[in-house]
Structure 1
């Protein structure tokens, strides 16, 4: 196997004191305004993949002023490797997965999911001329993956082993990259036979006629016995931020829920953001929109934690604690406090 990693407001103390204070007062964030404002006016720094579905809710919140409406300021930080950036201390929040949350807590980077983002998403696509028609055909081929610490990889490798008896670690030449755009470029250049791919980038690839979807994450996950409905990707906030700014977390969740509803009801907003991403084909946008709408989720329920536990019970024995980095799901990776 070959692996490549690539406030205003002054207190009235007399006119003289007012002038003096005005000259030296530190700059502070403007307070929240509006009847719906529940935040404290501070910043929420959100790490976002610019080429992922996660870019759409962030776009709606910012473009439609939902952060201002609910009393916080959203700062979008584009990155194709949110987990690494987050571990350096940058960002208050990111979209992430259950296994990353567990490993972050083990590393002392305490982070908790405050809202869901999607259920099962993403695909595995293959070049039409690769001879790969299903996961079983990957034996001896070149496969792009988003990283060996991603849930997508764990599920794909477990599915290949269980359904086809293939150990992808030894049977496939792997190319790792957290950037789906890079993987898309590599398969386009003929350097890969197949690759994992973001669901929002899949439609444009299949529309070209050069690629086909050989598996979806949902069918692989349910194929190895994972729950059909699970908070696969979530919005995780640093525990320190939650403790210091709970009102901003509540405001963010409220803004996200409104953004979710807009994304469910408004076709045009998908086209607007897709254009920013270089996607202009109406058919591709429609497929992207419908694929995403099926996967998006807006709130946790009492069953969400149980679904995570059920997923862990199946996946940990299949994948192995040595690969996951843990042998049990961390306590408290999900909270219902902001639902």
Structure 2
């Protein structure tokens, strides 16, 4: 999807902030939070809750080993991003001034392969070339952990992971036949499978729940800001949390909002793809969290560390202060 076209759709709702506090949101142009952010702006929920959300879409390329959104936050050019909490722990352990203050959802992906693939489940990965955005990507870490736990092998050793560097590059790698399958992020999976000839072999969200050993939804990605922003603008973060709760309720209840999202933000204005993404988003999103939720996230991390090892995660612990939940205001 053309980044400029999506940004123009957002800019149509970037009215004057007035004297409201501003929160600079920087999100990937092909990530699922853009659906929620566009709708929040479209409905004016940021202003309704007393703040101004400035949304700019950026590339999903890597900068110095970090995703672009992480680099923007750490460089002081953003106040709000989303990444998975394993990456948050890794960057915070290395001294990054970042903190998770609200959940987003189970933002994992799925293994996608040609329809005639010989890969039917996790047990079949050995001997195949598997495309990943990067080897420290959460999808690959989760797959490695599940293979080690349930099938007794590590696909990082028995298969060949091939790094694409971006989600766009990952899809191109699949189309060009450079790999046997890819671990693509969930919002992009329907665009690939609905247009064929590809299928989703398995969703990584099943792995999350299986490893977490709970029926409760465990958020993998959270909204982040800097410690300094949260300290100075706690009320702004709380206002965002309230607006987020409202927009999630609307996106769960109102199919019509998704018709506009499909038109403005998706690569293919195809009703079947829009419907698949809509239902996937509703199954993925986490509206709020509490101490029990965070305990579950920490338990999942410990399970991943014990199975895949600290080297696979890139960090051996969740540093103190990584999670600082705020109450909606």
TM over 0.5: yes
Unaligned runs of 5+ in 2: 1-15, 61-66
Aligned to 2:30: 51
Q: 1:293 aligns with which of 282, 289, 313?
A: 282
Q: 1:176 aligns with which of 138, 146, 163?
A: 163
Computing the radius of gyration from Cα coordinates, the structure with the larger value is 1
C-alpha contact 1:227 1:310 (8 A) present in aligned 2: no
Question: 2:64 matched to 1:93?
Answer: no
Aligned to 1:195: 182
Q: 1:315 aligns with which of 296, 304, 307?
A: 304
For 2:49 and 2:198, locate their aligned partners in 1 and report how far apart those are by CA, in whole Å: 43
SS class of match (1:47): strand
For 1:295 and 1:178, locate their aligned partners in 2 and report how far apart those are by CA, in whole Å: 24
CA shift, 1:317, in A, is: 1.0
Q: Which moved more, 1:247-256 or 1:166-175?
A: 166-175
For 1:322 and 1:75, locate their aligned partners in 2 and report how far apart those are by CA, in whole Å: 37
For 2:161 and 2:314, locate their aligned partners in 1 and report how far apart those are by CA, in whole Å: 20
C-alpha contact 1:120 1:217 (8 A) present in aligned 2: no
For 1:156 and 1:84, locate their aligned partners in 2 and report how far apart those are by CA, in whole Å: 26
Question: 2:142 matched to 1:163?
Answer: no
**Total equivalences in the alignment:** 303
Aligned to 2:47: 68
CA shift, 1:178, in A, is: 4.7
For 1:89 and 1:129, locate their aligned partners in 2 and report how far apart those are by CA, in whole Å: 47
Q: 2:231 aligns with which of 231, 243, 258?
A: 243
Q: 1:103 aligns with which of 80, 87, 90?
A: 90
SS class of match (1:338): coil
Question: 2:242 matched to 1:263?
Answer: no
SS class of match (1:224): helix
| Gap change, CA 1:89 and 1:173, over 3 Å in 2 | farther
Aligned to 2:242: 254
SS class of match (1:100): helix
For 1:227 and 1:312, locate their aligned partners in 2 and report how far apart those are by CA, in whole Å: 14
C-alpha contact 2:104 2:221 (8 A) present in aligned 1: yes
Q: 2:56 aligns with which of 63, 77, 93?
A: 77
Aligned to 2:313: 324
CA shift, 1:226, in A, is: 4.7
Q: Which moved more, 1:152-161 or 1:68-77?
A: 68-77
CA shift, 1:183, in A, is: 0.8
CA shift, 1:47, in A, is: 2.0
| Gap change, CA 1:225 and 1:118, over 3 Å in 2 | closer
For 2:212 and 2:224, locate their aligned partners in 1 and report how far apart those are by CA, in whole Å: 25
SS class of match (1:174): strand
Question: 2:251 matched to 1:272?
Answer: no
Unaligned runs of 5+ in 1: 1-27, 32-40
| Gap change, CA 1:215 and 1:72, over 3 Å in 2 | same
SS class of match (2:143): helix
For 1:84 and 1:193, locate their aligned partners in 2 and report how far apart those are by CA, in whole Å: 31
| Gap change, CA 1:177 and 1:78, over 3 Å in 2 | farther
| Gap change, CA 1:225 and 1:70, over 3 Å in 2 | closer
Aligned to 1:147: 134
For 1:58 and 1:94, locate their aligned partners in 2 and report how far apart those are by CA, in whole Å: 11
RMSD between superposed Cα atoms in Å:
2.1
C-alpha contact 1:230 1:307 (8 A) present in aligned 2: yes
Q: Deviations over 1:19-74 (max 9, x none)?
A: xxxxxxxxx9621xxxxxxxxx1321112122121111111112222222222221
For 1:95 and 1:62, locate their aligned partners in 2 and report how far apart those are by CA, in whole Å: 17
CA shift, 1:225, in A, is: 4.6
C-alpha contact 1:321 1:327 (8 A) present in aligned 2: yes
